[in-house]
Every structure is written in C-alpha cells, then in structure tokens.
Structure 1
Amino acid sequence: MSDATRSERPLRLAVIGIGKIARDQHLPAIAANPRFTLVAAVSRHATVDGLPNYHDIDDLLAADHALDAVSICTPPVGRASIAMAAIDAGLHVMLEKPPAATLSEIARIDTHASAAGRTLFTTWHSREAAGVAAARSWLADRKVLRMTIDWREDIRRWHPGQDWILDAGGFGVFDPGINALSIATRILPGAWTVDAADLHVPGGRMSPLVADLTMACGDIPVTAGFDFLRQGPQQWDIVVETDAGLLKLREGGSVLEIDGVVTRGADAEYPGLYAAFERLVRSGTSDVDVTPLRLVADAFLLARRHEMPAFSW
C-alpha cells in the first residue's frame, strides 16, 4: 500500500494523451475532485497550461514527480506499452475506454498490475450516466423479453479529423458503439454472445462506419444498430421490453423512461469515474471488465464485411 493510500493525502496524477476527451472530460473532472492533484501532462502534440508537459511517458518518469497514478487517454493502439511502463514505475493506472487495442493486451496489463500490486481500472464512462443504476435495479426484478440498441451519431461532429478512428485498431463506429455495449452489459448482466454482425467499411479505410449486430444475453435477443454518419438529431437509445412494461435509456443513459415516466439526471460520468478510481487505489483493488471489448472483438471475428463509398472529412 502506498504512502498516499495510508495517509489519504490527494493522489498525485498525470494525464497521458491530451486530446478532445481529455480536455472535455478528464481535466475538468480532476480539477473538481480534491482527492487528486494534477501534476503533469503527457502528449506528443498538445500541452496543458500551468503544468509541466512531456512528450512521452519515459520523459515523465525521468522527471520524478513522485506520482501515485496515471490516467491514460491515448488512442488504444500503443496504449499497452504506456500502461506497462507506468506499472513498472509503481503507478496505479486508469484507462480510458476502450482499455486496449486487443483482449490479449488488456489481459497482459491486468496480469502485470496484479503481480505488481497496483490498481488497474478499465473505465466505461457511460455506465456512470444518470439513468444506468436505476435501470439495472428496475430490470433485476422483471423478466426481460428483448433489447434494442440504436447508437447513431456524426463522426464529423464528434471526432473531426481524427483519422486514427478509421485505421486498424481504431474501432470505427465501435468507438462510440462500445459505450452502448458497456451500458447494455451493465443493466442486463449475464452470458453475452454475438451471433451475427454486418460491418460496412468505407473504401480505403480499415474500420467500419456502420455496423449491425445480432446478440443475446442468455436467451434474451438483443439487436444493435451503430451508425457513424447520422446527420440531424443524434441518437443514443437502448429500449428494453419486459413482462412488466417498457424501459428506455435515452441520450446515452442520462434520461430514463419507464412506461412513459421520464427521469433526467445531471451529467456526472467522469466525476463518477475519478471517484471510483480513488476508492480503488485507497482499497488496493482493481476493476477490470472487458465484456464490452469482447463483444466488439467477436463482432469483428464473425462479421460479414461490406464495402461502402469512400469517406472524407
């Protein structure tokens, strides 16, 4: 157990990967949490004002900031080596979703963290959306008949110019789609499988812009449609039919509707993640759930691939 864990002083943290998600979500959540002190930032292409900034993790570790932990927000390809270096330096590690580029990578990181006695936290921010916990509780006492997922957004609006998302290992439409899978597997625990998948990949790219999945949780049928080219109103909905009525999680899980009764909660996804990370570090435990990533991997394994017109920004 570290000195920080024993004394419960604020955890000294560095953020690695200063892109849109780090600026929009991680940095504000850290600034609002007195249990963390943001000590440094690492990025190849960006800096954070008021902090020491480093090009890579080797430069960060050489600076000897007496860190306790790192939060890794880089694209998934290449993330494993960063996490391993952090663990080797005795640091606790928090991973932005998806936790790694492959299942074997995250298994290796998990084994390494466990052997070193360091906390590893594979985060799924959408599970912290306001309606998710209540949806899980309501469904626990009911017979679920089927689930439908519609996750449709505009890549040009949310990820402008981020070509890595459409490269090999970039996940394509599953970059947002895995958020839906993280919610679905949270509110409906059980043995999940992918039965069929259709992936639509633009010419000259490696990852899909559109995907349709047929899945099951035990004997419960689940269908999912993911679209990265949605113009107009964006859609992040999960609908669950039960023997006792209809449950809808809308707007990415922030709005819960049960038989027409709507409850809307405040956005607290990333503050919730950092609160959870702090608890894990203090207790000397880890939280490593790869279920959403496994479903995406299965979809790629089973997929019927369809070429669609070339994509440009």
Structure 2
Amino acid sequence: MRAPIALVGIGKIARDQHVPALAASPDWALAATVSRHGRVEGVDAFERMVAFLAARPDVGAVSLALPPQPRFAHAEAALKAGRHVMLEKPPGQTLAEVHALERLARERGLTLYATWHSRMGKGVAAARDWLAGRAIRGGRITWMEDVRHWHPGQDWVFEPGGMGVFDPGINALSVLTAILPEPVHLIEADLDVPANRQTPIAARLLFTGGIAMELDWLFPGEPLWDIEIETDGGTLLLREGGNRLFVNGEEQEGSAEGEYPALYRRFAELVRAGECEVDLSPMVHVADALTLGRRRVVDRFDF
C-alpha cells in the first residue's frame, strides 16, 4: 500500500520533479500540499503548515520543496508533530539548523532525510566504484547554466540563505563528495557578487588534490554540468549533472532510475528502517567558500 505524503512548497522544482516522481512512486501517494500559491489538482490543499498538521494526522511524512530560508520552521513543526521529513537540497540555510533538525528527529525516533538529487544521477554510483582505490591526480568541475531559465524571477536565490550560484553548484559538490575515495577541503575561492545582490552569481574554487571548480550563472544556451577527475588509471568524466559517465573516453552503462524517483525510494527505505540520513559535506564546502572567498563586486543583476 502506498503511504500518504504531503508536499510543502509547490513551485518550479515541485512541479517539474517532485509531483511526477510521487505520481509514479510505488511507495508514496501525494495526499496533501502546503503552499500559499501553488496547488496540485485533485489533492487536498492547505496554505499554512499548522493547518495541514492539525487537519491531516493520517499523513505521516512530509517532503519540503520550498526555498531554504523558511524551511527550518516547517521541518521543525513537522517533526514536533511526529511526521517523517524529507528535505530538498540544500537542506537548510545553515549547518547549525540542520544539525538541530537531526537531533530533534533522532530524539523522537523519526526519519530526517537530507536529499542530494544529483547523487542519484545515473552515472554517479559507477563513478564512485571506478574511483575506489585509485590515486587522484587532479580534477576540474565546470558547472554553468542560465539562472533566468532555472530560477525565473526567484529573487530568494540572491537573498541571504539562498546561496546564489551555489544553489546549483552544491549539486556538483554533492557528487564530488560522493565519488572521491578520500575527502578534500577548500583552499581558496573567488566570488563574483552583483552590486545589488547578497549572494554570488559566479565563483572559482580550488580544493586540495588539485581539483578546481568554476561556477557561472549567466551561461547562455545548454548548461554545462561536468566533473572530470584525473587518476593513476586514466580520466573519469561525468557529464549532464552525473547522468553520463565516461572512462578514458568510453561511455559506461549506468543506472536506469531517475533522480527524484530514486530519492523517494530511498526515503521510503529510511522510514521503514527507522533511520536518518543527513550528510552535510556538500554544504560544508559552500560554507567554507563563503568564509574564505574573496568577494568582487560585479554588474547589477535583474531578472
């Protein structure tokens, strides 16, 4: 039997990914939504979290797809009401608030799942397996896209807590931290911040092990989401956000499952096992970049 779940935040990512994944899920049935503006046809809709929690005690799980700034309060309320919680990436505005949510979930015997959808890319697991035991000699991450296409009119990404270009960049970092046989840490960063905004629109980072990263949120045309790793056994290349894997120029077979269906399958596994999964290593790199980064003011940005 499919368990009822509520989806909180009915914006672009919810409509593009969460709603279709839940419609096809063998584990979950979308039973309610919480959003001030969005609705899903045929689904019980609430404008406020408190109203949903009071009216639908039968819905034991909540997936939060709203921006990170208001997410803590919603997640805390759900956990205090005894609901399992799944968090869209990034899991919160700060590391501390996610640690607080994890403590609360564990104290109450509930599941908290901090998701990283790009880790479910079709080539990521195979990339991790191929890199295991190999010596890393360097690497390059190129993550470039058009913010006007992927976040049209969404000013929250440029507000404190929105992370700016690290909103997509954290996807690359989630893959990097999943596939490398040994962890790396940030050495230096350069951040380009528009004169009228609070978060960067482009960035350049350097990690230990000779891994460089370039992020650009004003890139026209098709996005570039590539991770290239040089090893003692040759070159590994992940393209299309982790969904295509090449080893020494030859494409490898990967998983057939999509990213968001895989996330909801994993959430169901965690709930059944009574476990939490909260890996904050990608977010640590972003926090380090915002701490170490040299800031350069660039041209104003408006949607």
Q: Give the alignment's TM-score, normalised by structure 1.
A: 0.94
CA shift, 1:215, in A, is 1.1
Summarize the Cα distance change of 1:78–1:189 in structure 2 as closer, same or farther, 3 Å threshold.
farther
Tell me which amino acid in the other structure corresponds to 2:244. Answer: V
Indicate conservation of the 8 Å contact 2:115/2:263, yes or no. yes
Matched, 1:102 2:91: no
Matched, 1:135 2:127: yes
Deviating above 6 A after TM superposition, structure 1's stretches of 4 or more consecutive aligned residues are: none
5 Å-filtered alignment, 1:1-313, equals 9-216=1-208, 220-263=209-252, 265=254, 266=256, 268-313=258-303
CA contact (8 A) 1:254 1:267 kept: no
Alpha-carbon shift at residue 65 of structure 1 (Å): 4.3
Letter in 1 for 2:227: I
Give unpaired runs (5+ residues) of structure 1.
1-8
**Worse overlay, 201-210 or 258-267:** 258-267
2-structure distance, mates of 1:12, 1:288: 23
**How many angstroms does 1:85 deviate by?**
0.5
Mapped partners of 2:120, 2:34: distance in 1? 26
Shift of 1:110: 0.5
Mean Cα displacement is larger for which, 33-42 or 287-296?
33-42
Give the distance between the partners of 1:48 and 1:91, measured in 2 at CA. 21
Structure 1 residue 141, shift from structure 2 partner: 3.0
Q: Which amino acid aligns with 1:116?
A: R
- Partners of 1:261 and 1:71 lie apart in 2 by 38
Unaligned runs of 5+ in 2: none
- Tell me the distance in 2 between the aligned counterparts of 1:241 and 1:251: 18
Deviations 1:83-132 (A, max 9, x none): 11000110000000000000000000000001010000000000000000
Distance in 2, Cα, partners of 1:211 & 1:25 = 27
2:261 partner letter: P
1:5 alignment counterpart: none
Equivalent position amino acid for 1:274 in 2: Y
Structure-1 separation of matches of 2:142 and 2:162: 21
Residue identity over aligned pairs, in percent, reads 49
Contact preservation (8 Å) 2:133, 2:181: no
CA distance in 2, matches of 1:263, 1:229: 31
Secondary structure of the structure 2 residue equivalent to 1:50: coil
Separation in 2, partners of 1:189, 1:92: 31
Q: Which moved more, 1:231-240 or 1:273-282?
A: 231-240
Q: RMSD in angstroms over aligned alpha carbons? A: 1.1
Q: Which amino acid aligns with 1:304?
A: R
Tell me the amino acid that sits aligned with residue 38 of structure 2. A
In structure 1, C-alpha distance between the alignment counterparts of 2:175 and 2:26, rounded to whole Å: 28
Alpha-carbon distance in 2 for matches of 1:93, 1:11: 14
Name the amino acid aligned to 1:226.
L
SS at match of 1:121: strand
Shift of 1:264: 6.0
**1:100–1:153 Cα change, 3 Å:** same
Alignment-mate amino acid for residue 192 of structure 1: V
Residues 157-204 of structure 1, C-alpha deviation per residue, up to 9 Å, x if partnerless? Answer: 111111111111111000000000000000004333111111100011
Q: Is the 8 A contact 1:39 1:65 kept in 2?
A: no
Quick one: distance in 2 between partners of 1:195 and 1:117? 38
TM-superposed CA distance for 1:263, in Å, is 3.1
Amino acid at match of 2:62: V
CA 264–254 in structure 1, closer or farther in 2 if over 3 Å, else same: farther
